[in-house]
Copies of this chain bind each other. A is one copy, B any other.
């Protein structure tokens, strides 16, 4: 394990810095190609051309096209996570509703601005590509952990409605899964609310995906901002916030 990590940038030889810079350039160019042509159209050769280098040279820095995809995946997760964090942190800790809404809006804004990268993260899996869980799980769970954190904080503050209509019982098998999540994340939210949280999670991304992926027709909804705001408000109520 002697990867040229970011931490190694401290005491680094000029070579290492140049190498890190090149990798960063490759990611930057890859990001641009991803935005322009989508994940399936991401071409190492094209990146090499933009880098002003012969195609095989890129393989000195990036193991394969899939490896570049992984780097872009982590890069995108990181940027989305940062933007969500910034949006949420801009509001007081006890403004649970506001924080939830800010999180949803931040996800949507980023998705609309970066549709190809959003598609890479939340769209159909790239065929033949399997993201290495040990590298992508942590950055990939930032948003949902943040959302759960808001729910948990609200619950501990008594700001999460205990009973929300309609009362739907949580079957035992599902309750077991949710209990495991509670334990792992150390959250106090009871299972019924946590289950609703999962629904809200999938629903927020479902709404964003529909918009970004063009599932609404071209002119079915002119007032997309209002639509999303409405959806967020209803979802807020669904989780009892």
Q: Which residues does A use to contact B, with CB under 8 Å?
A: 37-41, 116, 119-120, 122-128, 133, 137, 164-166, 168, 170-171, 173-174, 176-177, 181, 195-196, 198-199, 202-207, 209-210, 213-215, 217-218, 220-223, 226-227, 229-231, 233-238
Which B residues are CB-close (under 8 A) to A202?
203, 206-207, 209-210, 215, 231
- Secondary structure at the A interface, as helix, strand, loop or mixed, is helix
Residue with the greatest number of chain B CB neighbours at <10 A, chosen from A39, A41, A238: A238
A128 near B165 with CB under 8 A, answer: no
Can you name 11 extra interface pairs (CB under 8 A) apart from A37-B127, A166-B236, A198-B227? Answer: A125-B213, A168-B230, A168-B233, A199-B231, A202-B207, A202-B209, A202-B215, A205-B209, A205-B215, A234-B238, A238-B238
Which B residues are CB-close (under 8 A) to A177?
220-223, 227
Q: How many chain copies?
A: 2
A126 near B40 with CB under 8 A, answer: yes
A196 to chain B, nearest CB (A): 6
Please measure, in the bound complex, the distance between the C-alpha atom of A231 and the C-alpha atom of B174, giving whole angstroms.
11
A15 to chain B, nearest CB (A): 36
B223 near A123 with CB under 8 A, answer: no
B125 near A218 with CB under 8 A, answer: no
Sorted nearest first, the 4 A-B pairs with minimum C-beta distance are A206-B206, A123-B124, A38-B127, A166-B237
A233 near B203 with CB under 8 A, answer: no
Which B residues are CB-close (under 8 A) to A236?
166
Closest residue of chain B to A37 (Cβ to Cβ) is B127
A217 near B137 with CB under 8 A, answer: yes
Please measure, in the bound complex, the distance between the C-alpha atom of A222 and the C-alpha atom of B180, giving whole angstroms.
11
